[in-house]
Amino acid sequence: MKTDSDNSPKKSEIIISSEFEETIHSFLAYIELEKGLSKNTADGYQSDLIQFAQFLTQKKITDWKSVNGDFVSQWVQDLSRNDYAVTSLARKLSAVKMLAKFLIKDHRSEDDFTELISGPKMARKIPEYLTPEEVELLLDAPDRDTAQGVRDRAILELFYSSGLRVSELTALHLQEVDLENCFLRVISGKGCKDRVAPFGSKAKEALENYLSVGRPRLVKIKTGSAFFISNRGLAISRKTVWVMLKKMAEKVGIKKPVKPHLLRHSFATHLLSGGADLRAIQEMLGHSDISTTQIYTTVEKKRLVDQHAEFHPRG
């Protein structure tokens, strides 16, 4: 099954019109500068839109005013026949829909040629998560007799207690952590929006221990204000965090693929099963849409069904 990066050599050779090229360039600048989307997102949209423009070029279309919904439908059908994943199709169509709205906003087109086009239906995957017992095992895995172990324990505690994304955790600075009031000021790369992320007393204890015992032993002359730092004294990288999590999981015998997002899923799932309000969880996770958070209600329902099947006499 193909992913977003799969383009045939033949299509990559198709030269698109200067109008297509200039418009795509303007659109990418718009979503980065005005919409605040990340460069990674913009790069993905660029690939998708060039692919769409190449398809139109094959159909002898070289300007946006000649594009209609039929061409979009044909393009999606063409991609489907080439075995693209549903998630890839949805992302590509989303890019074209955003472009169509941009064309109207920028007075390059009068009609939204994607208005009647619906995206492919996707079965939402239920997030995997750790049980509370597995979380305890993971949190106790680091060696707290070393500066690195003290740091790793603080990272794990904060992940589970706050539901941060790995990019948010590695981007934390000292001034963004309020230990007295137990919250973080998080600047998310997704739209560059600020939010407040609370954390609990266990995480506070681990963070205080890291700041007093672990971090001073890792600091170098070139160390800046990054909260979590590597053995070289620089801001810790996402790769280092991923490797550490995998190592700790293997150490305590957890068979699940433990990644940073698994702790984020565990954070949300355990909050919901404990009775937390869905809107509060949405705010803590930094989800812009409540529908994204609602996937955790499916996790909780599945857990109840599994419990019934396992323990009820007629389960």
List, by residue number, the catalytic residues.
165, 190, 261, 264, 287, 296
- Residues ≥6 apart with Cβ < 8 Å to 209: 144, 150, 153, 154
User: What is the rounded (10 degree) CA torsion for 130, 133, 136, 141?
Assistant: -80
Interatomic CA distance for residues 304 and 315, integer angstroms: 12
Burial of 101 (0-12, 13-18, 19+ CB in 10 A): middle
- How many CB atoms sit inside 10 A of residue 228's CB? 24
Do 296 and 200 touch, CB atoms closer than 8 A?
no
Q: Output the CA–CA distances (angstroms, integers) from residue 303 to 75, 76, 82, 270, 293, in the order listed.
A: 40, 37, 37, 11, 17
Three-state DSSP class for 315?
coil
Interatomic CA distance for residues 162 and 196, integer angstroms: 10
Task: Report the side by side order of strands in the sheet with 177-178.
Answer: 177-178, 183-187, 194-198
Tokens 């957890």 belong to 254
